[in-house]
Chains A and B, each alone.
Chain A
Amino acid sequence: MATIDLNLQIWRQKNSDALGQLEEYLLEKISTDMSFLEMLDVLNDKLTLEGKDPVAFDHDCREGICGMCGAVINGIAHGPERETTLCQLHMRHFANGDTLVIEPFRSRAFPIRKDLIVDRSAFEKIIQSGGYVSVNTGGAPDGNSIPISSQIAELAMDAAACIGCGACVASCPNGAAMLFTSAKISQLCLLPQGHGERRQRALSMVATMDKEGFGNCTNLRECEAVCPKSISIRNIARLNREFVKAAFLEG
């Protein structure tokens, strides 16, 4: 089993009000089969036994789908592998002696809670402002009553695959949440079920995005490059179209 030694520089910050700084840790004999989070587990066990405060980081499913984990590794959200969440990044992608700078997802709209943990509740607000089809439980027509071509269903699914991790925001120089917001808007404007509310949805979700302190898209494509689910910026084009149409028709 191959192992590597690493020099870690990790952002430590006690809470939202405290000032943070990078702290350095040497970690030896890390198996290259470990996931990145398992490497942090090993570090935390070591820190705990030394009587030090372990590094706080969000994580849950550890299979790349819950969207809970995430950190910026050497300047790249979720690390160097494409289409990979932090929990699915394995240490075989690093070399012996590497220095890894590990920081939280930084953005004005994501205040840091502790160490690598940020508050992404601004995302919740965006969804709450229109990321749904307003149907109550019960009385839905038969599932096959609206035919939806396989192609459209697949496009909607491409957008719906977003896990809401926030890497797009962390990597955007403008701190925009356009990729996240557009993924939901695309899913629902592609499918006929979402058509009834499409104008209101676009206006309202964009307004919430602005209100929560996110920036605007300038087509730099940094978000797309780090997205673990390869959500395409075509969705942002769709969002813009939905928004402009709605603004003319409703505004």
Chain B
Amino acid sequence: MELNARIPEGPLAEKWDNHKFNNKLVNPANRRKFKIIVVGTGLAGASAAATLAEQGYKVQAFCIQDSPRRAHSIAAQGGINAAKNYQTDGDSVFRLFYDTIKGGDFRAREANVYRLAQVSNNIIDQCVAQGVPFAREYGGSLANRSFGGAQVSRTFYARGQTGQQLLLGAYSALSRQIQTGGVTMYNRREMMDLVVVDGRARGIITRNLINGNLESHCADAVLLCTGGYGNAYFLSTNAMASNVTAAWRAYKHGAGFANPSFVQIHPTCIPVHGDYQSKLTLMSESLRNDGRVWVPKNPGDKRRPVDIPEEDRDYYLENKYPSFGNLVPRDVASRNAKEQCDRDKGVGATGLAVYLDFADAIERDGQATILRKYGNLFQMYEKITDSSPLKEPMMIFPAVHYTMGGLWVDYDLMTTIPGLFALGECNFSDHGANRLGASALMQGLADGYFVIPTAVANYLATTPLGSVTDADGAFNDAQQKVGDRLAKIMKNSTGGPGGKITVDEIHKELGHLLWDNCGMARNREDLLSALDQLPAIRQKFWDKVYIPGSGSDLNQTLERAGRVADFLEFAEIMIHDALNREESCGCHLREESQTEENEAKRDDENYSYVSVWEYNGDGKKPEMHKEELVFENVTPSQRSYK
């Protein structure tokens, strides 16, 4: 597997402009001759589909829900970063770049991250022009707030629903293109396989979720905008349908999968309350602007929070990290919460929670101000927990939230399969080993609105593409294979010989295995044991999982089973990757690699690379390749937020 990142020549600040100039173009009159498939219609997919159609390409877009507006980008609460420096508090493109690459613990490519910071400003302008109702100051200018991992105020927001408003902006642009015929939209479709012809991505096989029909779609380029794989852990903040299937199919066709063990555990989620729980709910990190995190000073203190006097409280983040306080990056906040709970200082019925207290902020700014900033979050919290953050401190605990790993892509977002691009959370490109808050929205839209047009044009202009139709043999073969696999999953539909278990039971088992052994803190022994246990769980799935109904009908159990089957395979490269990386880095602590103060210890000498996994056939160990990371403009420093 050749990993040529194709990073443009020249000084950091000129790379992107040089690259746009050097990339070949497709004449406007010729663009309508090219068909482009976009899978997934979240921020990355909707913005890419709309933009490419505006430019004249013929776009086919696919989404798993009944409308592109449902994609999980919609759930992002806090905001989107941009280097506008409207607050004149010292922000700049270079500072946003520096904060992002430092926040990612120096495991991302300089050139990509710098480009992200550059186009961040265009994103805000674009979204404003679309009518996204960003929060405003009384005078009418755009408002900002601050976020974890940064000392400037650069986050733009629309109440606690920024993701929703940005997605609806991209969705409106997409809807306009559907109306003009530039985009053909396929709702309730799930991508089941990628079709590769002559070594190039030329189409996909989808399943129509309403009637179970398998469908072939051919194109000149395929864009995967299918999000992250956090649901491998069963419980996460992802939507129920979020899955790894599209990316995993691409991997099995030869796309390298980068840093699969880089998973972000978000510090401010509502704690788990029962076995039946189906998902975890995130409370925006922006709450840490005004909330103070604390636990009782004395282990085992089970008094109610109001009964614990100030001197018996441990504001551990403020004490340990005085300069960043409650706004330390996500990994530091998560790890410290876990550490407090491990010391029996956790609160709530399960002891797996810490307090996030707004009492001081309410006293300082008044209830009205706090409600204006966080009203919808408080309401959401109260609905779920039956407790009001205005009266009692919130309880929070870390949960799987975002996956920095993803399909390996070059500077043009192309995977190791020519013609196959990956955008947004689906790729690995910009967040290194840890994503800063308000950066996911920025990256999804940067990829879709601003990066992909030049990348796709260059690919199409420089690649001789033979004619392919969806009646070609490759498509028939692929459909056959998909059909066989579905039949194999359905084989226990009359009740398996080994007894019946449900899809969720297996999924939960996998989730526990990963959370316990490949979560925030990892060690060699546990990872090896997880690797050992995995095949048995997989076998149990194929022997016992019971799927009612038929494959040629709307069958939600079958949909879930297909996704879980892929998570069961995918988990293996996740664990391999975690095993290989014997350093603490970004989101995870490798227990063998700690400083004397028990802080994470990165190992730049041996691990300053992207680990990229190549499929070698079922049942064979995947092969790892390295893309060495070169830092010419920043000096990797041990992160310190003290």
List, in ascending order, chain A residues with CB within 8 A of B526's CB: none
- A140 and B125 form a contact (CB under 8 A): yes
- A54 and B450 form a contact (CB under 8 A): no
Smallest distance from the beta carbon of A85 to chain B beta carbons, Å? 9
**Is the C-beta of B124 less than 8 angstroms from some C-beta in chain A?**
yes
**Is the C-beta of B241 less than 8 angstroms from some C-beta in chain A?**
yes
- B554 and A143 form a contact (CB under 8 A): no
- B130 and A132 form a contact (CB under 8 A): yes
**Is the C-beta of B595 less than 8 angstroms from some C-beta in chain A?**
no
Q: Which of A96-104, A118-126, A214-222, A237-245 contacts B (4 or more CB under 8 A)?
A: A118-126
**Is the C-beta of B172 less than 8 angstroms from some C-beta in chain A?**
yes
In-complex Cβ contact of A54 among B84, B135, B556 (8 A)? B556
- A51 and B548 form a contact (CB under 8 A): yes
- B138 and A143 form a contact (CB under 8 A): no
List, in ascending order, chain A residues with CB within 8 A of B75's CB: 61, 63, 65-66
- A45 and B65 form a contact (CB under 8 A): no
Q: A67-B70, A138-B126 are in contact. Are A41 and B276 (CB under 8 A)?
A: yes
In-complex Cβ contact of A45 among B74, B139, B450, B504 (8 A)? B504
What 1/0 flags go to A43-65 for Cβ under 8 Å of B?
00101110111101011111111
**Is the C-beta of B60 less than 8 angstroms from some C-beta in chain A?**
no
Smallest distance from the beta carbon of A208 to chain B beta carbons, Å? 10
- B65 and A188 form a contact (CB under 8 A): no
**Is the C-beta of A6 less than 8 angstroms from some C-beta in chain B?**
no
Q: A62-B240, A65-B161, A148-B136 are in contact. Are A52 and B548 (CB under 8 A)?
A: yes
Smallest distance from the beta carbon of A30 to chain B beta carbons, Å? 9
Interface residues on B, range: 35 or more
In-complex Cβ contact of A34 among B127, B135, B274 (8 A)? B274
- B54 and A60 form a contact (CB under 8 A): no
List, in ascending order, chain A residues with CB within 8 A of B158's CB: 157, 160
**Is the C-beta of A213 less than 8 angstroms from some C-beta in chain B?**
no
**Is the C-beta of B151 less than 8 angstroms from some C-beta in chain A?**
no
List, in ascending order, chain B residues with CB within 8 A of A88's CB: 380, 383-384
Q: A128-B179, A137-B54 are in contact. Are A48 and B548 (CB under 8 A)?
A: yes
12 pairs, A vs B, C-beta closer than 8 Å: A31-B274, A35-B278, A47-B548, A48-B500, A54-B548, A61-B239, A66-B69, A134-B176, A141-B129, A148-B136, A149-B138, A193-B131
| Chain A residues at the B interface, C-beta cutoff of 8 Å | 1, 15, 31, 33-35, 37-38, 41-42, 45, 47-49, 51-54, 56, 58-68, 81, 83-84, 88, 90, 92, 113-114, 117, 119-121, 123-124, 127-129, 131-138, 140-144, 146-150, 153-154, 156-157, 160-161, 163-164, 187-188, 191, 193-194
- Interface contacts beyond A37-B278, A128-B176, A161-B161: sample of 19 additional A-B pairs, CB < 8 Å, sorted by A: A34-B274, A38-B276, A42-B276, A45-B504, A54-B557, A62-B240, A62-B279, A65-B74, A88-B383, A123-B67, A132-B130, A135-B126, A138-B449, A142-B125, A143-B125, A144-B142, A149-B140, A150-B143, A164-B67
